[in-house]
A and B are shown apart, each in its own frame.
Chain A
Amino acid sequence: MSAALPEQEAQQLGSVERVKDEWPLYEIFVRGKRGLNHVHVGSLHAADDQMALRHARDVYTRRNEGVSIWAVRADAIAASSPDEKDPMFAPAGDKVYRHPTFYSIPDNVPHM
Chain B
Amino acid sequence: MGVHDHDADHGSVYDGLTGGDDSQWAFGTAFEDPLAGVDTTISEGVDPATLAEYCLMLADDALVYSHRLSEWTSRAPDLEDDIALANIALDLLGQARLLLARAAAADPSRVPALPEGSPVPPEDALAFFRVEAAFRNVRFVEPDNGDFAVTITRLLVFSTYRLAVFERLADSSDSVLSAIAAKGVKELTYHRDYAGRWFLTLAKGTEESCRRLVNAMALVWPMYDELVCSTPAEKAAAEQGFGVDPATVGDEVGVLLDQVLSVSGVDRPEVPSVGAVQGRAGREGRHSEAMGRLLAEMQVVARAHPRGRW
Binding site for B on A (CB under 8 A): 1, 12-13, 16-17, 19, 23, 30, 32-35, 44-47, 50-51, 54-55, 57-59, 62-66
Chain B residues 77-102 with CB under 8 Å of chain A are 77-81, 83-84, 87
Residues of chain A within 8 A (CB-CB) of B148 are none
Residues of chain A within 8 A (CB-CB) of B31 are 64
Binding site for A on B (CB under 8 A): 22, 26-31, 77-81, 83-84, 87, 190, 193-194, 197, 201, 205-208
- B87→A16 contact, CB < 8 A: no
Residues of chain B within 8 A (CB-CB) of A33 are 27, 29-30
* The 7 nearest A-B residue pairs measured at CB: A65-B27, A55-B80, A63-B28, A58-B84, A32-B27, A16-B208, A64-B28
Docked complex Cα distance between A33 and B28 (Å): 8
Closest chain B CB from A24 CB (angstroms): 13
- B27→A30 contact, CB < 8 A: yes
- B26→A32 contact, CB < 8 A: yes
Residues of chain B within 8 A (CB-CB) of A63 are 27-28
- A51→B207 contact, CB < 8 A: no
Closest chain A CB from B250 CB (angstroms): 29
Residues of chain A within 8 A (CB-CB) of B197 are 50-51, 54
Docked complex Cα distance between A104 and B24 (Å): 28
- A45→B28 contact, CB < 8 A: no
Residues of chain B within 8 A (CB-CB) of A23 are 78
Docked complex Cα distance between A13 and B22 (Å): 53
- B80→A58 contact, CB < 8 A: yes
Closest chain B CB from A23 CB (angstroms): 8
Residues of chain B within 8 A (CB-CB) of A57 are 190
Residues of chain B within 8 A (CB-CB) of A13 are 208
Residues of chain A within 8 A (CB-CB) of B78 are 23, 45
Residues of chain B within 8 A (CB-CB) of A46 are 80
26 A-B pairs with CB atoms under 8 Å apart are A13-B208, A16-B206, A17-B206, A19-B205, A32-B27, A33-B29, A34-B22, A35-B27, A44-B79, A44-B80, A45-B78, A46-B80, A50-B197, A51-B201, A54-B193, A54-B197, A57-B190, A58-B83, A58-B87, A59-B80, A59-B83, A64-B27, A64-B28, A64-B30, A65-B28, A66-B27
